[in-house]
Structure 1
Amino acid sequence: MTDAVKRGRPGYDRRGLLDAAVTVFNESGYDATSVAALAARLGLSKAALYHHFSSKEEILETALGDALDGLEGVLRQARAVAAGDRLAEVLQGAVRVLIEQLPAVTLLLRVRGNSDVERRALDRRRAFDQDVAAIVQAAQAEGAVRDDVDASVATRLLFGMVNSLVEWYRPTGPEGAEALARDVLTIALDGLRTR
């Protein structure tokens, strides 16, 4: 049986239950949300929740994996782009992932390493940051962006801006993913480009 077909009570499929659980984790905090409270909030029995996921940790791991898979996919796609355009491609792709997976990325940005699942997610996030810093370094070496800013610092600042979107971006707002990605590029790269 596929995840899309396998349904629990009251009509949640695995994806729907995951999305609802991530919303609860973001509202109440992962650590503060017990399985019993999660099941009650979703109108499920604990058995119905366990029909789809073996534990609260599996729900967290799946959600964090979705966010990280999306970000890592951006890096894979950027490899096919000319080196000078790679940083712009990564920034645009990261904005798109954030918007498409806003709840999961929000959850990712809130983990602190309190469990093995969180530590593994943080390791993957650090690897992503290191890969982006290498892209910044390559762009600096080509003269495409300023080289008077440390690549790791530039990466943190750029992704600080991108990650801040989880705090204020609303999908129902006036600006869609593509327009927002262009705005991020304008602000980020026009401040880094050489004159």
Structure 2
Amino acid sequence: MSISSTKPDAPRRGRPGNDRDDVISAAVRLFNEHGYEATTIGMIADQLGVSKSAIYHHVRSKEELLAAALDHAMGALEAVLDDPRAVTGDVVDRLEFVMRGTVTVLTGELAEVTLLLRLRGNTELERRVLERRRHFDRAVAQLMQDVADEENIRADIDPRAATRLVFGMINSITEWYRTDGPLNGQTLGDLVVRLVFQGLRARSS
């Protein structure tokens, strides 16, 4: 199934000091703090201590910055589903891998994923990204259904509701996780899997 891409134009060469990734990172911080609409190129330039013209050496518009950040976040999540460990093998192991992988992406790309989760579909760009996110959500929901079909979770649990609850919990990590805190992505992923599967897994008689 094809999904819409948000990949921006090829990177432009900029002045020494700040590269394109620096500009994108500064923009994401400001988008998360003030909102996309309220953030200006001038604010991004001030954040980096450069002129607005220096920003335009790297990108053509504010929307290009948003597109690059969102494509990075979605690309990382999509890579989890494309990994062979999410595609082949025991279905429970595949679901556990996807859960751990999603946590790793959230903790490793915290600012970009936070921006992604706050999208409301106000522009064509945002709507394209949200369609990619729905594709991801549907794939995860199908994986949970596959687990249920093999009777690996309790019969009294609705797979679709479980998917929403589990990934609602995972997505909430962006609201409280701190990169300088005591938990790294791997440890947090293991914790999430233990919490979830103690409640989901069917007990053998």
Classify the secondary structure of the residue corresponding to 1:51: coil
- Please, which of 140, 146, 152 is the counterpart of residue 138 of structure 1? 146
Deviation at residue 42 of structure 1 after TM alignment: 2.6
Deviation at residue 87 of structure 1 after TM alignment: 0.8
How many aligned residue pairs are there?
192
| Residues 1-195 of structure 1 aligned to structure 2 (within 5 Å) | 6-8=13-15, 11-77=17-83, 78-195=86-203
Percent identical among aligned pairs is 47
Tell me if the contact between 1:87 and 1:135 (Cα under 8 Å) persists in the aligned partners: yes
Q: Deviations over 1:105-135 (max 9, x none)?
A: 0100111111111111111111100000000
Distance 1:148 1:8 in 2: 60
Distance 1:30 1:62 in 2: 13
CA RMSD of aligned residues (A): 1.7
Return the TM-score normalized by structure 1: 0.92
Distance 1:116 1:40 in 2: 28
Any stretches of 5+ residues in structure 2 without a counterpart?
Answer: 1-9
Return the TM-score normalized by structure 2: 0.88
Q: Deviations over 1:26-71 (max 9, x none)?
A: 1111121122222233322222111111111111111011110111
1:15 alignment partner AA: D
2:68 alignment partner AA: T
